[in-house]
Amino acid sequence: MKRILQATSIAIAVCAAQRLVAIDYAISGDQTVYNVDGLKTSAVMTVSFTLTRVGANWAISNTYTNTGVKDTIALAGGCTYSVTTDLSGASAGLVMDDPIDRLDAATVFPRVLLLAFLTPQQKLEDVTNAPVPFLWPRHAALHCYRWSFKWSTEAPWLPAQVRFELDRNLARRVHPDAISSYFHSGYRDRALFKQFQETQRPGAEYSVAAWTNWQGASLPLRAMISFTTFDHVTGGGTIRQLLTVTVTGITRPDSDSLIPALAPGDGVQHILNRTCYYYTSAGGQFLSPEQAKAVGRVLALAPPPRWVAAVQWLRSGLAGPKQQSPSNTGASAPTTHAITFLPWQSVGLVLFFALALLLASALVWLVARFLSSRK
């Protein structure tokens, strides 16, 4: 009993200390993805980034050097605000009331930065309910891993090492729609998902190689995450990959406002309770939810993507605790949408008609035999 009380006291002290430490910073650097073949590594992609934290809000901006595309995601007031700008300068905005859904659709780069520099802002159970930082966008297994943490011993107590292990029980509960939506291989979807699970036996691991002290805060200077990628597009090949994070500068934030700016005339999709309102930004500003409802045009969208329905199915409690963002104070609870047309239904329909045709043929044959025997 004494040990339990001591452990409880330590846990409470750590949580209290984490709440007392509120360090705002702006970090810049580079992220590089390598393919690993034995002792050889080859760079695949390099992305420059800036990450800004102000209180409980944050903004992550990635510039993809191979395409010139710049993608910014900001969390403010429980919603995510995104602006994507291509090489020609054309941009578009997106607002989502569920940050977890936005991270599910994001690339690995902002998810790794979220883990590396913003984890203390969140409760532990909310961190582990976020999508893992190494799978492709909208992967069927984004929420099927167990996280094991080793923390830094200095404020602000960021993760020093995180181990990711695939949970087969969670993988078995993934909705078939999520699998089909990601693999797009028809009847081979389930088999590909099983092959993917076999490739994840080594697990994935994030670790910090070097730290730096900035104004009393111990922040990662170099970090990496190693993982295995299952490339189903090229025939199910397995690629061992390494993503590195290198910090080149740390400063104070220039402004408390983290919401990215739009260009006048940019189109904005504002998603509220699974309803998408589209409007054109006149002054380069995002509208409030009430304004978006008032002036936005409701888009005639198809049923929600199957991966969304599958994530909601996992969130229903069948596969663990409810998934939510700790900063998502203003977002409404997710609603479950029924899919009216499923792949297995089409197969069942074909089998039904084939069986009916077979029975009809047998009946005609029996009648013909009966009439011929009477003659």
Of 265, 293, 291, the residue nearest 280 (C-alpha): 265
Among 177, 273, 194, 176, residue whose Cα is nearest residue 232: 194
pLDDT tier, 343 (very low <50, low <70, confident <90, very high otherwise) = very low
7 vs 198, residue with greater confidence? 198
Closest by CA position to 167, among listed 136, 129, 137, 112: 129
Look at residue 349 in the predicted model and tell me its pLDDT. Answer: 58
Q: How many CB atoms lie within 10 A of CB 146?
A: 13
How far apart are alpha carbons 58 and 145 in whole angstroms? 25
Per residue in 129-174, pLDDT (tens digit) is: 789 999 999 999 999 999 999 999 888 889 999 999 999 999 999 9
CA distance 293 to 278: 9
Q: How far is CA 140 from the centre of its chain?
A: 10
d(CA 288, CA 257): 15
Helix segments in 71-215, DSSP class H: 99-104, 108-117, 124-128, 168-172, 176-183, 189-199
Is there a contact between 231 and 200 (Cβ–Cβ < 8 Å)? Answer: no
Share of the chain above pLDDT 90, in %: 54
Q: Does 233 score more than 60 pLDDT?
A: yes
pLDDT digits (tens, 9 = 90+) for 300-342: 554 444 434 333 433 333 333 333 333 332 333 333 333 233 3
DSSP assignment letter at 281: -
* Residue closest to 119 by CA, chosen among 165, 76, 162: 162
Residue 351's pLDDT is: 72
Between CA 369 and CA 373, with CA 370 as vertex, the angle to 5 degrees is 85
The yes-or-no verdict on residue 123 having pLDDT over 60 is no
CA 339 to chain centre: 22
Q: Which two tokens stand for residue 274?
A: 């699974």
- C-alpha distances out from residue 174 to 44, 144, 196, 237, Å: 30, 8, 13, 22
**Range list of β-strands (E), the chain:** 25-37, 40-54, 57-64, 70-76, 79-85, 91-96, 145-151, 159-166, 204-214, 217-231, 237-251, 267-272, 275-280, 297-298
pTM: predicted TM-score of the whole model, two decimal places = 0.74
Q: Which two tokens stand for residue 372?
A: 């011929």
- Measured in whole angstroms, the distance separating CA 368 from the mean position of its chain's CA atoms is 63
pLDDT band at 125 (very low <50, low <70, confident <90, very high): low
The answer to whether the beta carbons of residues 102 and 79 sit under 8 Å apart is: no
Alpha-carbon distance of 286 to 292, in angstroms, equals: 9
Distance from C-alpha of 241 to C-alpha of 243, rounded to nearest angstrom: 7
Predicted local distance difference test score (pLDDT) of residue 307: 38
Nearest C-alpha neighbor of 257 from the set 69, 95, 24, 63: 24
The per-residue pLDDT of the chain, averaged, comes to 80
- Over range 189-214, report the average pLDDT: 95
Whether 324 and 126 have beta carbons less than 8 Å apart is answered as yes
d(CA 219, CA 93): 31
* Residue 126 to residue 91: CA distance in whole angstroms: 31
State pLDDT tens for residues 9-34. 334 333 433 443 568 999 999 999 99
Alpha helices by DSSP H, listed for 46-151, are 99-104, 108-117, 124-128
Band of residue 119 on the pLDDT scale cut at 50, 70, 90: confident
DSSP 154: S
